Structure 1
Amino acid sequence: MIIGVPKEIKNHERRVGMTPATAHAYASAGHEVVVETAAGAAIGYRDADYEAAGARIGRDAAEVWGAAEMIVKVKEPLPEEYGYFRSGLLLYAYLHLAAEPGLTQALAESGVTAVAYETIQLDSGALPLLSPMSEVAGRMAVQIGASYLEGHHGGKGLLLGGVPGVAPARVTIVGGGIVGVNAARIALGMGAEVSILDINPERLRQLDDRFHGRVRTLMSDAHTLAGAVREADLLIGAVLVPGARAPRLVSEAMVRAMSPGSVIVDVAIDQGGSIATIDRITTHDDPIYIKHDVVHYAVANIPGAVARTSTQALANCTTAYGLRLAGGPLREAALADRALARGINVLGGRIVCQAVAEAHGYPHEALETALARGAGIGA
Structure 2
Amino acid sequence: MFMGRCSVFMRERGVPLRIGVLKEVKAGENRVALTPGGVKTLAGDGHELFVEAGAGARCDAPDAEYQAAGAIIVPDAMAVSENSDLLTKVKEPQPEEFDIFREGQILYSYVHSETRLPLIRTLLDKKITAIALENVRTDDGRFPLLEPMSIIAGQYGVMIGGEYLQCRHGGRGISLVRFPGLPPAKVVVLGAGPAGESAARTAAGLGAQVTLTELSFDKIRELTPVLPANIKLVNASEPSVHDEILEADMVVHTTTIPPDSSYHIIPRTMLPQMKRGSVIVDVTANLRGGVESIDRYTTHADPVWEVDGVIHYAVTNIPSAVAATASRAYEAAHLGWLRQVAAKGAKTALAENPPLLRGLTAAEGILSWHEAGTMQQLDWMEPHKALEQMV
- Report the TM range for the smaller structure's normalisation: over 0.9
Which position in structure 1 is the counterpart of 2:116? 100
Which position in structure 1 is the counterpart of 2:51? 35
Question: Unaligned stretches of 5+ in structure 2?
Answer: 1-16
Indicate whether 1:63 and 2:71 are aligned.
Answer: no
Quote the offset at 1:79 in angstroms. Answer: 0.7
Indicate whether 1:321 and 2:337 are aligned.
Answer: yes
RMSD of aligned Cα (Å): 1.8
Indicate whether 1:205 and 2:240 are aligned.
Answer: no
Residue identity opposite 1:315 in structure 2: E
Q: Is the Cα–Cα contact under 8 Å of residues 108 and 351 in structure 1 kept in the other structure?
A: yes
Aligned counterparts of 1:189 and 1:176: Cα–Cα separation in 2: 16
Quote the offset at 1:363 in angstroms. Answer: 1.6
Query: SS state of the match for residue 206, structure 1?
Result: helix
Change (3 A) 1:355 1:224: farther
Q: Is the Cα–Cα contact under 8 Å of residues 99 and 272 in structure 1 kept in the other structure?
A: no
Residue identity opposite 1:239 in structure 2: T
Residue 293 (structure 1) aligned to one of 304, 309, 319: 309
Residue identity opposite 2:67 in structure 1: E
> TM-score, with normalisation over the residues of structure 1?
0.94
Which position in structure 2 is the counterpart of 1:336? 352
The equivalences for 1:168-207 within 5 A come to 168-207=184-223
Aligned counterparts of 1:139 and 1:99: Cα–Cα separation in 2: 26
Query: SS state of the match for residue 99, structure 1?
Result: coil
Aligned counterparts of 1:249 and 1:100: Cα–Cα separation in 2: 25
Query: SS state of the match for residue 197, structure 1?
Result: strand
Q: Is the Cα–Cα contact under 8 Å of residues 128 and 317 in structure 1 kept in the other structure?
A: yes
Indicate whether 1:155 and 2:171 are aligned.
Answer: yes
The equivalences for 1:91-130 within 5 A come to 91-130=107-146
Indicate whether 1:275 and 2:291 are aligned.
Answer: yes
TM-superposition CA deviations, 1:132-152 (whole Å, max 9, x none): 111111111111111111111
Aligned counterparts of 2:171 and 2:75: Cα–Cα separation in 1: 45
Aligned counterparts of 2:260 and 2:187: Cα–Cα separation in 1: 21
TM-superposition CA deviations, 1:48-83 (whole Å, max 9, x none): 111111110011111112221110101111111111
TM-superposition CA deviations, 1:266-299 (whole Å, max 9, x none): 0001677531111111111111111111111111
Aligned counterparts of 1:101 and 1:225: Cα–Cα separation in 2: 36
Which position in structure 1 is the counterpart of 2:64? 48
Residue 139 (structure 1) aligned to one of 134, 155, 163: 155
Q: Is the Cα–Cα contact under 8 Å of residues 267 and 273 in structure 1 kept in the other structure?
A: no
Q: Percent identity?
A: 35
Aligned counterparts of 2:220 and 2:55: Cα–Cα separation in 1: 42
Q: Is the Cα–Cα contact under 8 Å of residues 96 and 270 in structure 1 kept in the other structure?
A: no
> TM-score, with normalisation over the residues of structure 2?
0.91
Indicate whether 1:369 and 2:364 are aligned.
Answer: no
Residue identity opposite 2:336 in structure 1: A
Q: Is the Cα–Cα contact under 8 Å of residues 226 and 254 in structure 1 kept in the other structure?
A: no
Change (3 A) 1:214 1:207: farther
Aligned counterparts of 1:291 and 1:110: Cα–Cα separation in 2: 42
Quote the offset at 1:343 in angstroms. Answer: 1.3
**Alignment: residue pair count:** 373
Indicate whether 1:86 and 2:120 are aligned.
Answer: no
Q: Is the Cα–Cα contact under 8 Å of residues 204 and 228 in structure 2 kept in the other structure?
A: no
Residue identity opposite 1:311 in structure 2: S
Change (3 A) 1:253 1:99: same
